[in-house]
Amino acid sequence: PTKIVLDCDPGHDDAVALLLAHADPRIDLLAVTTIGGNQTLEKVTRNTLGILTLIGCTDVPVAAGCTRPLVREMRVAADIHGESGLDGVDLPEPTITLDPRHAVDVIIETVMAHGPGEVTLVPTGPLTNIALAARREPAIIERVREVVLMGGGVHVGNATPVAEFNILVDPEAADIVFGAGWPVVMVGLDVTHEALATPQVAARVAQIDSVAGRFVGQLIEAFGENYRQVQGFDAPPVHDPCALAYVIDNSIVGTRRAPLTVELRGEHTTGMTVADLRGPEPADCPTSVGVSLDVDKFWDLVVGALEELAPG
């Protein structure tokens, strides 16, 4: 299995990513770290502990990270994820306690405790913790296998016409992560807007008579309603598990190597990710961008993971 650290801000779709990371046998979840994003750090950390309790993932360290971006003011996505960060979903009281270490230290210690090329970082929120880890201990840059992140988009934005939420929240952190030199795979909106939880998907989830099945059913419904009202989608895009899907089976997400930067100064374009797709694919480029999704394989993976979890 691929060893990963999942850095997240749950968040309805982050919750599905956590579930997939726990349930799929091809993933060895070494640690979960949290980052202020969809809601405040305090709220997303509480949500993380509740989700992991609900799905029975109680033996993985969970550490809280940064409360705000490197440079800019904090912004949250209450319009999509609600005041709690996970509105419309019932969570149990957590039975897990938080690791006392800072997320940045947990990321560094986990990477350094494993061999070169062993640990993959999977950020599904703003990139603040990952950027700080790279600055605090540059030795992780050589040691990490790759960074597979949900964020950005080649041709489309969501928080603005051209910027995706995770990148817009902390574009300076994204700049550090994209330019560090380690392999980066950006699984952005071009991919995740294909991962729609359609009524057919919801019907498959509804067949799964378990705590986790009912939980994901609730998630899709609540998230779907907000996406309809705020972004005009018929069905919600379930972004974050797409990054996990790539780590589990890279035939699910089509990628191509491309120089990748982020706009930091644009009057109307701050947070836009700029991938240079001109010409042939450069052989020695450490950054890649997701361009397509095998939708059927993706949902088979998510539904399969839900079925793996113990009934109850």
The least distance separating Ca ion from the CB of residue 135, rounded to whole angstroms, comes to 22
Q: Quick one: 61 or 153, whose CB is closer to ligand BDR?
A: 153
Site size toward Ca ion (CB under 5 A) is: 6
Number of H-type helices and E-type strands within the chain: 13, 10
Q: Quick one: 136 or 155, whose CB is closer to ligand BDR?
A: 155
Backbone angles phi, psi at 210, to 5 degrees: -150, 170
150 near ligand BDR (CB under 6 A): yes
List the one residue from 34, 38, 45, 129 that touches ligand BDR (CB under 6 A).
38
128 near ligand BDR (CB under 6 A): no
191 near ligand BDR (CB under 6 A): no
CA distance 229 to 142: 44
Q: Confirm whether 239 is a catalytic residue.
A: yes
Site size toward ligand BDR (CB under 6 A) is: 15
Q: Cβ neighbours of residue 267 under 8 Å, at least 6 residues apart? A: none
Give residues 65-84 in contact with ligand BDR (rule: CB under 6 A): 77, 80
The least distance separating ligand BDR from the CB of residue 45, rounded to whole angstroms, comes to 15
The least distance separating Ca ion from the CB of residue 125, rounded to whole angstroms, comes to 5
Are 36 and 68 in contact by the 8 Å Cβ rule? The answer is yes
List the one residue from 11, 126, 151, 286 that touches Ca ion (CB under 5 A).
11
Catalytic residue from among 155, 193, 239, 268: 239
Task: Give the chain's end-to-end CA distance (angstroms, integer).
Answer: 26
The least distance separating ligand BDR from the CB of residue 92, rounded to whole angstroms, comes to 21
Q: Quick one: 255 or 273, whose CB is closer to ligand BDR?
A: 273
Q: Which long-range contacts (CB under 8 A, 24 or more apart) does 152-156 make?
A: 152/186, 152/188, 152/189, 152/260, 152/262, 152/273, 152/289, 153/188, 153/189, 153/190, 153/273, 154/188, 154/190, 154/273, 154/275, 154/277, 154/289, 154/291, 155/190, 156/189, 156/190, 156/193
Are 130 and 121 in contact by the 8 Å Cβ rule? The answer is yes
124 near Ca ion (CB under 5 A): yes
CA distance 225 to 16: 17
Chain residues that interact with Ca ion, rule: CB under 5 A: 9, 11, 14, 124-125, 240
Chain residues that interact with ligand BDR, rule: CB under 6 A: 11, 13-14, 38, 77, 80, 124-125, 150, 158, 164-166, 239-240
Which sequence positions are flagged as catalytic?
Answer: 239
